[in-house]
Structure 1
Amino acid sequence: MHLQGVPNEIMCKVFPTTLKGPARVWFSKIPPSTVSSFEELSKLFVNSFIKGQRHKHSLSSLLTIEQGDNESLQSFITRFIREALTVDEMDDKLLLATFHNGVNSDLFIHKLYEQEPQTMAELVHSAQSFMNTEDVIIAKKIKKA
């Protein structure tokens, strides 16, 4: 549009028609008459989306993450770690505590208390070992059946 010399006003009017999802929601929250040029609108957009800035959460937000009744341990760990990466104050001890709070696998919890991991890396390694053992037990049961 710049190359074709489209006026500022038209670019501002057309811009929202190109937006979807979170970008459209973001645009709808801009108060009317607060943006005076397309250049200003562009800078607002870049500051909100293009820089790769992600909304950071507090550690307490991890306390709301719980393993679902039918959710696999693998799925829960993946979801927990994805959310943990959005937390500003990453501390392994606190992350481990919030993980313990959310996990529902009784056998895995028992394993965690037998060999208590000191870091999230140790916890993920322990979980992988646990899931591999579970897979072998399930395979043996299927073979016997």
Structure 2
Amino acid sequence: MHLQGVADEIMCKAFPTTLKGPARIWLSRLTPNSISTFKELSAQFAPHFIEGHRYKKSTACLMNIKQQEDETLRSYITHFNKEARLIDETDDKILIAVFKNGLRKRKFLFSLYKNDPKTMSDVLYRATKYMNVEDTLLAREEKPKKRERQEDVR
């Protein structure tokens, strides 16, 4: 906003919408009209929350993420993406390699090696299609089991 030349008043009004948790509470406790510029606001804000700044991790941290034996592909992807967002600079080739390295030896991994994806977006798109098929097949298996249970109860 500062680069766009937005006025201080607008930046001060927009700033609270970006906060949550302790930062929002801190802001709400400020004395009304005690700050007149965005520079003053940021000067008061920074010392309170600079310690809480999370430093970005390196790609090497992702090497420890492995899909557990009982972990679904959906859960593995969620965990992987959560950690990948904490990486400062990511390269798709490295992300893909690390992602594949953490996957269990299953059909989806085989499909990734068979048709090598070029971007992480490609991997996630293919994973979504694969998970949807898995969910559909699982739902088909569940229907007969439910019918059998209902018949056993009768």
If the TM-score is normalised by the length of the shorter chain, which range does it land in? 0.5 to 0.7
Greater mean deviation of Cα atoms: 133-142 or 73-82:
133-142
How many percent identity over aligned positions?
A: 36
Q: Is 1:48 matched up with 2:51? A: yes
For residues 142 and 50 of structure 2, what CA distance do their matches in structure 1 show?
A: 55
For residues 48 and 105 of structure 2, what CA distance do their matches in structure 1 show?
A: 43
Paired residues of 1:67 and 1:103 also in contact (CA < 8 A): yes
Amino acid at match of 1:91: D
Paired residues of 1:56 and 1:86 also in contact (CA < 8 A): yes
Amino acid at match of 1:68: Q
Equivalent residues, number: 103
For residues 77 and 63 of structure 1, what CA distance do their matches in structure 2 show?
A: 14
User: Which stretches in structure 1 are left out of the alignment for 5+ residues?
Assistant: 1-18, 20-41
Paired residues of 1:56 and 1:87 also in contact (CA < 8 A): yes
Q: Is 1:89 matched up with 2:93? A: no
- TM normalised by structure 2 equals 0.59
Paired residues of 1:73 and 1:105 also in contact (CA < 8 A): no
For residues 105 and 127 of structure 1, what CA distance do their matches in structure 2 show?
A: 15
Q: Following TM superposition, by how much is the alpha carbon of 1:43 offset from its aligned partner in structure 2, in angstroms? A: 5.6
Provide the secondary structure at the position in 2 that maps to 1:48: coil
Greater mean deviation of Cα atoms: 132-141 or 95-104:
132-141
- TM normalised by structure 1 equals 0.63
Q: Following TM superposition, by how much is the alpha carbon of 1:143 offset from its aligned partner in structure 2, in angstroms? A: 3.7
User: Which stretches in structure 2 are left out of the alignment for 5+ residues?
Assistant: 1-21, 23-44, 146-154
Q: Following TM superposition, by how much is the alpha carbon of 1:46 offset from its aligned partner in structure 2, in angstroms? A: 2.4
Paired residues of 1:96 and 1:119 also in contact (CA < 8 A): yes
Q: Following TM superposition, by how much is the alpha carbon of 1:54 offset from its aligned partner in structure 2, in angstroms? A: 2.1
Query: For residue 117 of structure 2, what is the aligned residue in structure 1?
Result: 117
Amino acid at match of 1:133: V
